């Protein structure tokens, strides 16, 4: 039996717990998700290192999964645009059962390897693309179909599973095992297995974006200011990173469509928006290199 399906020996009487103990059991168990991601850190570093040159060459980040794993892939893909201005067309996710499966469980769809292959092929994968293949069990046929399509196209495949020696990690070029063990509720991988996958995806994509010059220091200076909250955040980030007062930061942001990177270079180099953009382009988006130019 898969470890993720094995009943937990720690909480055999879970249904009899008083509420404080019940909550405590769930919270305590999540610590194992953190430990699982920590143990997989070397493989995550390898995955980022191997993905980076492909993404820098114009490749896309692709995601494939079913159920909770698939929804986590969708979540990671859609958050890259507002957080890092990553183009939407360069972060695409397929989910067993299609888009409607984000909102209504389509359980049988995960068993269709042919559909997984077809859905991935519909994205027209290429050798610069990177597929993040997600399956708690590690053997989901839909995901395995997507892996085979990606590999046939020459894309890099990174496989995430919560069981050791799983097909998803064996068939990937970089396998990442998040060994979270039995769940508090037997087999419910939306619990700590899902938490570990979310952390691993956050770690992978955030590290990749840092290496793509989307961060200055530890500030998210390449965000898309698409709502009032993000406009305020852009102003605060510009003031913090440049040392400018609010009026100066606001004027710079208004001149460059609220792009924090550009505003920083404008203020620190004393140039206009066009010159700041040119410096950033020459520095491949690196604020540090643009400022040093």
User: Do β-strands 174-177 and 61-65 pair in parallel, antiparallel, or remain unpaired?
Assistant: unpaired
Q: Are residues 53 and 126 in the same domain?
A: yes
The answer to whether 237 and 220 are in contact (CB under 8 A) is yes
Is residue 170 a part of any domain in this protein? Answer: yes
- The C-alpha atoms of residue 97 and residue 101 are separated, in whole angstroms, by 5
Which of 4-8, 45-49, 109-113 has the largest mean confidence? 45-49
The answer to whether 17 and 93 are in contact (CB under 8 A) is no
Domain endpoint, select from 211, 242, 263: 211
Closest residue by Cα to residue 177 from 159, 194, 202:
159
Which residues make Cβ contacts (< 8 Å) with residue 101, sequence separation at least 6?
Answer: 66, 67, 70, 71, 95, 109
CATH at 21: 3.40.50.10490
Percent of the chain whose pLDDT exceeds 70: 100
Token look-up 């009487």 returns: 13
Is residue 223 a part of any domain in this protein? Answer: no
**Which residue among the candidates 5, 46, 79, 173 is catalytic per the annotation?**
79
**Which residue among the candidates 32, 56, 89, 110 is catalytic per the annotation?**
110
Q: Are residues 249 and 126 in the same domain?
A: no
For residue range 76-131, list pLDDT tens digits in order: 999 999 999 999 999 999 999 999 999 998 878 999 999 999 999 999 999 999 99
Provide the token pair at 269. Answer: 């180099």
Is residue 205 a part of any domain in this protein? Answer: yes
Number of domains into which the chain is organized: 2
Q: Are residues 232 and 194 in the same domain?
A: no
For residue range 62-72, list pLDDT tens digits in order: 999 999 999 99
Domain endpoint, select from 150, 181, 211: 211
Is residue 5 a part of any domain in this protein? Answer: no
Domain endpoint, select from 185, 211, 237: 211
Is residue 216 a part of any domain in this protein? Answer: no
Is residue 2 a part of any domain in this protein? Answer: no
79 is known as an active-site residue? yes
Q: Are residues 20 and 63 in the same domain?
A: yes
Span 28-57, average pLDDT: 97
Is residue 261 a part of any domain in this protein? Answer: yes
Q: How far is CA 47 from CA 108, 167, 226, in A?
A: 30, 17, 31
> Could you give the maximum distance between any two Cα atoms of the chain, in Å?
67
Q: Are residues 204 and 253 in the same domain?
A: no
Residues spanned by the domain of 120: 14-211
56 is known as an active-site residue? no
Span 198-211, average pLDDT: 98
Question: Which H or E run contains 176?
Answer: strand 174-177
The answer to whether 247 and 235 are in contact (CB under 8 A) is no
Q: Are residues 67 and 103 in the same domain?
A: yes
For residue range 120-178, list pLDDT tens digits in order: 999 999 999 999 999 999 999 999 999 999 999 999 999 999 999 999 999 999 999 99
For residue range 17-37, list pLDDT tens digits in order: 999 999 999 999 999 999 999
- The C-alpha atoms of residue 94 and residue 78 are separated, in whole angstroms, by 12
Strand partners, 176: 160
CATH at 270: 1.10.8.1080
Q: Are residues 153 and 54 in the same domain?
A: yes
The answer to whether 61 and 133 are in contact (CB under 8 A) is no
């Amino acid at each position: 039996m898969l470890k993720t399906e094995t009943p937990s020996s720690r909480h055999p009487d879970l249904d009899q717990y008083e509420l404080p103990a019940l909550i405590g059991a769930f919270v305590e168990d999540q610590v194992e998700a953190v430990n699982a991601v920590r143990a997989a850190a070397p493989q995550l570093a390898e995955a980022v290192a191997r993905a980076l040159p492909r993404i820098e060459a114009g490749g896309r980040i692709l995601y494939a999964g079913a159920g909770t794993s698939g929804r986590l892939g969708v979540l990671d893909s859609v958050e890259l645009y507002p957080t890092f201005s990553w183009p939407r067309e360069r972060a695409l996710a397929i989910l067993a059962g299609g888009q409607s499966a984000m909102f209504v469980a389509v359980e049988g769809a995960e068993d269709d390897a042919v559909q997984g292959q077809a859905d991935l092929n519909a994205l027209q994968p290429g050798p610069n693309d990177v597929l993040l293949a997600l399956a708690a069990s590690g053997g989901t046929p839909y995901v395995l179909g997507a892996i085979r399509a990606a590999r046939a196209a020459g894309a890099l495949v990174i496989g995430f599973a919560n069981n050791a020696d799983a097909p998803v990690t064996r068939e990937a070029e970089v396998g990442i095992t998040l060994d979270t063990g039995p769940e508090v509720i037997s087999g419910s991988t939306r619990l700590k297995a899902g938490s570990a996958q979310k952390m691993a995806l956050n770690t992978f994509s955030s590290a990749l974006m840092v290496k793509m010059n989307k961060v200055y220091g530890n500030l998210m200076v390449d965000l898309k200011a698409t709502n009032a909250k993000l406009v305020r955040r852009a102003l605060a980030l510009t003031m913090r990173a440049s040392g400018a007062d609010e009026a100066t930061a606001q004027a710079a942001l208004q001149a460059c469509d609220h792009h924090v990177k550009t505003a920083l270079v404008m203020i620190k180099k004393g140039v206009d928006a066009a010159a700041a953009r040119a410096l950033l382009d020459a520095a491949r988006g690196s604020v540090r290199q643009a400022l040093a130019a």
